[in-house]
Amino acid sequence: MSALPLQGIKILDLTRVLAGPLSAQMLGDLGAEVIKIERPGGGDDARAFGPPYLTDPDGKANNNNSFYLCANRNKGSVTVNIATPEGQDIVRELAKSCDVMMENYKVGDLKRYRLDYESIKAINPGIVYCSVTGFGQTGPYAPRAGYDAILQAMGGLMSVTGHLDGEPGEGPMKVGPSIVDYMTGMNSSIGILAALYHRKANGGAGQHVDVCLFDTVIASLSHYAQIFLVNGQTPPRRGTWGNGGMPAGVFRCTDGELMLVVGNDGQFARTCAVLGQPELATDPKFLKNNDRVVHGKEIMAIFAGLFLKKPVAHWLDELAKAGVPCGPINDFAQVFADPHVQSRGMQVKVDHPFEHELSLIRNAITFSGTPVKDYRAPPLLGADTKDVLATIGVDEAKLGELKAQKII
């Protein structure tokens, strides 16, 4: 088996909470050595984001919760107080041998510590320095802090998410998971990888990569935002309705619900046949997809009545035979029990000090030549401080001194 794609790349990760840590985790999965810098005592802010926590073998309270665990595997944890001159010296010394440095502090915060891009570039010209923020390094909002939900609101995502106008519960709605953080993490990884390729192909020069949640959520709106740019109108909230092929949405059956997306005219005809109403496919109001979009409420109401006649399993089976895209609405227990999910190995086991077989979600990328097979558990706070600092000449005596001064 070949080495992992990023073997030999070293990353100094000063990010906290979710977007930045997710990006560093992705790169760690792919073989990069990731050194996570955390505050002595408290660590990453995510460690205090509430239960559930792993059970400590000694019954003690701990800071290994689900929020932290989801974004910090395949890293080493080093505790350094960067508010102290000695801590800043440690980070700068580590940065000298790193390919990438990542941070998600407010714009300008790290400059006072001489840990900003220009300061690090001065000691390591080839560094790829990635800043992850709410609003970016420039612009009137640059100084602001930003969390996922705020950017879902400000970036337009919530304006097109939620129940249809006129339905109970109408109005803007946040997407459940921190989806903007996740997408920003992916953009950060893409930016870092592109900058590393540029460095290799163009003489070794590093650069500053600026990624923010606000840019990410706006770009993610893709065809929704493009509709506005074409005609000046914001698309309406569609609830569970699709936004391309029609009809598409959640349909209630005798014992539950399913999701259906009719992507073209052929699928529409086959769906009508499955539902026992083949004549609908030749009705002039529904003949072409654009016709069905215009008469969306009518065809959705007709389909709603037909689906109510039989159970979910019946419809899923018949629609699958007809080649019509559809699926059950699974909760997480059903997701991880799904035979396809199991065959894809989406749940992986790692050996954590508190739990011998801790379940995590695997990296979503599959390689034929350099498969990601081994995962290391998210580290306990400061677990790798001694080993990592030894690489920059910190011996046992100095280590004790730094601990006594609460620098590490």
pLDDT digits (tens, 9 = 90+) for 51-107: 999 999 999 999 999 999 999 999 999 999 999 999 999 999 999 999 999 999 999
Q: How far apart are CA 20 and CA 17, in angstroms?
A: 7
CB atoms < 10 A from the CB of 357, how many?
9
Measure the CA dihedral 333/151/100/38, to 10°.
Answer: -70
Residue 10 in this model has a pLDDT that exceeds 70: yes
d(CA 174, CA 147): 12
Q: What's the pLDDT tens digit per position in 363-375?
A: 999 999 999 999 9
pLDDT band at 129 (very low <50, low <70, confident <90, very high): very high
For residue 384, what are the CA distances in angstroms to 21, 36, 62, 403? Answer: 17, 9, 17, 14
Active site residue 56: no
pLDDT of residue 166: 87
Question: Which residue from 93, 61, 66 is spatially nearest to 78, judged by alpha carbons?
Answer: 93
Mean pLDDT value across residues 1-20? 93
Are 39 and 33 in contact by the 8 Å Cβ rule? The answer is: no
- Per-chain mean pLDDT for the chain: 96
Please state, in angstroms and rounded to a whole number, the distance separating the CA atoms of residues 323 and 393.
63
Residue 283's φ and ψ, nearest 5 degrees, are: -65, 125
> Is the pLDDT reported for residue 202 higher than 60?
yes
Mean pLDDT of 310-327: 97
Closest CA to 73 of 344, 350, 373, 347: 350
- Both tokens of 388, joined, read 């990592």
d(CA 370, CA 100): 22
Q: Find out whether 79 and 43 touch, Cβ atoms under 8 Å.
A: yes
CB 132 within 8 A of CB 155: no
User: Shortest CA distance to 103 belongs to which of 33, 206, 21?
Assistant: 21
Q: What residue segments make up the domains of the chain, in order of their start?
A: 10-219+344-404, 248-334
Q: How many helices and strands, by DSSP H and E, does the chain display?
A: 16, 11
- Answer whether 53's CB lies under 8 Å from 64's CB: yes
Question: 347-356 pLDDT, tens per residue?
Answer: 999 999 999 9
pLDDT for res 242: 82
Q: What's the average model confidence in pLDDT over 260-270?
A: 96
Q: Report the Cα–Cα distance between both ends of the chain, in Å, rounded.
A: 38
Choice among 99, 181, 210, 215 that is catalytic: 181
Average pLDDT over residues 162-176: 92
The CATH superfamily assigned to 10-219+344-404 is Crotonobetainyl-coa:carnitine coa-transferase; domain 1 (3.40.50.10540)
248-334 — its CATH code? 3.30.1540.10
Q: Is the dihedral of CA 385, 390, 394, 397 positive or negative?
A: positive
Query: What is the pLDDT at residue 54?
Result: 97
Q: According to the model, what pLDDT value does residue 178 have?
A: 97
Q: What is the mean pLDDT of residues 319-337?
A: 97
Specify the amino acid at residue 57.
Answer: P
pTM equals 0.95
Q: What percentage of the chain reaches a pLDDT higher than 70?
A: 100
Averaged over 304-314, what is the pLDDT?
98
User: Which 3 state secondary structure label does DSSP give 25?
Assistant: helix
| Residue located via tokens 């792993």 | 54
- Rounded mean pLDDT, 185-193: 98
Beta-carbon contacts of 398 under 8 Å, excluding residues fewer than 6 positions away, are none
Q: Could you write out the three-class secondary structure of 202-255?
A: CCCCCEEEEEEHHHHHHHHCHHHHHHHHHHCCCCCCCCCCCCCCCCEEEEECCC
Query: pLDDT at residue 243 above 90?
Result: no
DSSP 268-323: HHHHHHHTT-GGGGG-TTTSSHHHHHHTHHHHHHHHHHHHTTS-HHHHHHHHHHTT
Interval 298-326 mean pLDDT? 97
Report the alpha-carbon distance of residue 276 to residue 378 in Å, rounded. Answer: 53
pLDDT over 80 at 1, yes or no: no
CA 382 – CA 397 distance, rounded (Å): 18
pLDDT of residue 165: 86
